């Protein structure tokens, strides 16, 4: 596993690997977010809050507010605008 892979374990102990697109910390919420997708050509994106300081590598928590989703969507649009020309 590398730094661009996120391994998630479900309640039944099954693990899934996802491709991390990017992370960011919001100045508005003072929270860190990770944006990721299934490996390959999948276009479905996932966004969660995480705490970098957690000793277990960071527990994922659901995004809580519409304001947070608005900021996440802005960050995703910016990410794809920047990577569209590559």
User: What pLDDT score does 86 carry?
Assistant: 63
* Residues 34-81 pLDDT 10s: 999 999 888 899 999 988 776 555 688 999 999 999 999 999 999 999
* Residues 70-79 pLDDT 10s: 999 999 999 9
CA dist., res. 26 & res. 4, Å (int): 20
User: What pLDDT score does 24 carry?
Assistant: 95
Residue 1 binned pLDDT confidence (cut-offs 50, 70, 90): very low
Overall number of domains in the chain: 1
CA angle at 11 for the pair 49 and 16, rounded to the nearest 5°: 70
HEC readout, 55-83: CCCCCCECCCCHHHHHHHHHHHHHHHHHH
> Range of 72's domain?
5-83
Residues in contact with 46: Cβ distance below 8 Å, sequence separation at least 6, in sequence order: 18, 35, 36, 37
């Amino acid at each position: 596993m590398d730094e661009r892979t996120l391994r998630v374990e479900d309640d039944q102990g099954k693990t899934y690997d996802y491709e991390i697109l990017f992370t960011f910390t919001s100045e508005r919420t003072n929270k860190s977010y990770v944006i990721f997708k299934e490996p390959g050509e999948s276009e479905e994106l996932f966004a969660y809050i995480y705490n970098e300081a957690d000793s277990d590598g960071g527990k994922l928590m659901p995004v809580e507010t519409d304001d947070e989703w608005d900021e996440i969507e802005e960050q995703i649009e910016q990410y794809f605008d920047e990577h569209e020309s590559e």
